[in-house]
Structure formats: C-alpha cells, structure tokens
Amino acid sequence: MIVACALGTFAERETVGPLLLKASGEGYGGLPVVQLHTVERTAEFYAAGRLAYDGQGEPLKLEGPEEVAGFARRSGGRVLVVVPVKNAAQLGDAQGIESNYLGDNGRLALVLVGVGGPDSSKP
C-alpha cells in the first residue's frame, strides 16, 4: 500500500495528464496547448490534437509571455500553457495577459492564458 501511494505521487510528478484532465473538467478541454520554457513529452499523449508543434514536427517551445500572447491571439484568444512552476509567475506579471493558475504537479504548472478582454481567462 505504501509503495503504491509513493509510486502514484511520483507518477503524478512525471506527467501532465492529471493537470490536463482537471482543465477539461473545468471546461477548457478544447483549448490549444503550448509549452513555455520546456518540452514535456507526456503532453503529446494527453493533449493529442491540441498540442502545438513547430515546423520540424517537434512540440513547440515558446520562450516568453509575449510569444504565448501572440500564439493565443492567433488561436482564438485562449490557450493552456505548460510551464515549469518556477516560471509560472511570468504569465501573471505580463502586460496584456489574463492568467489563471489551474494547478501543478510539483514540477510543471498548467496555466490558462487569455488575451483580448477582461473575461478571456474564464470558461
């Protein structure tokens, strides 16, 4: 029992699956998913069909809040962002971005980002 609990906690830290499932339950399951300052390979499975890719077919890695905002503008105004916990505050501090911290697994956070209006981060 102890091993199963410890393994479960370890496994949650190694995947974004539970975070994306939570986001889907909150009404964000149809939004595109981008990655900021990281490439998390489990997102390819859990966000299949929604994860952004670059021109070489690799998961798109954005390098700053401005790039996230630009992607969101081109994608209907809202995106889910997988970002290292240590960098998540960049999204809340950025001009022109509404952000909603949906949760984290201890290593990576999932943040809803909206651009274009006061309710852009609401379902």
DSSP conformation class of 51:
B
- pLDDT of the residue at 58: 96
> At CB < 8 A and 24+ separation, what contacts does 58-61 make?
59/35, 60/34, 60/35, 61/35, 61/36, 61/37
- Phi, psi dihedral angles at 41 (to 5 degrees): -65, -30
Q: Give the mean pLDDT per block of 10 residues along the chain (123 residues).
A: 47 82 96 97 95 97 97 97 97 93 97 77 51
- pLDDT of the residue at 27: 97
Over its C-alpha atoms, the chain yields an Rg (Å, rounded) of 14
- pLDDT of the residue at 14: 75
Helices (H), 35-117: 42-46, 65-74, 89-93
- pLDDT of the residue at 2: 55
- pLDDT of the residue at 3: 46
Residue 64 identity (one-letter amino acid): G
- pLDDT of the residue at 10: 44
- pLDDT of the residue at 63: 97
pTM of this structure: 0.85
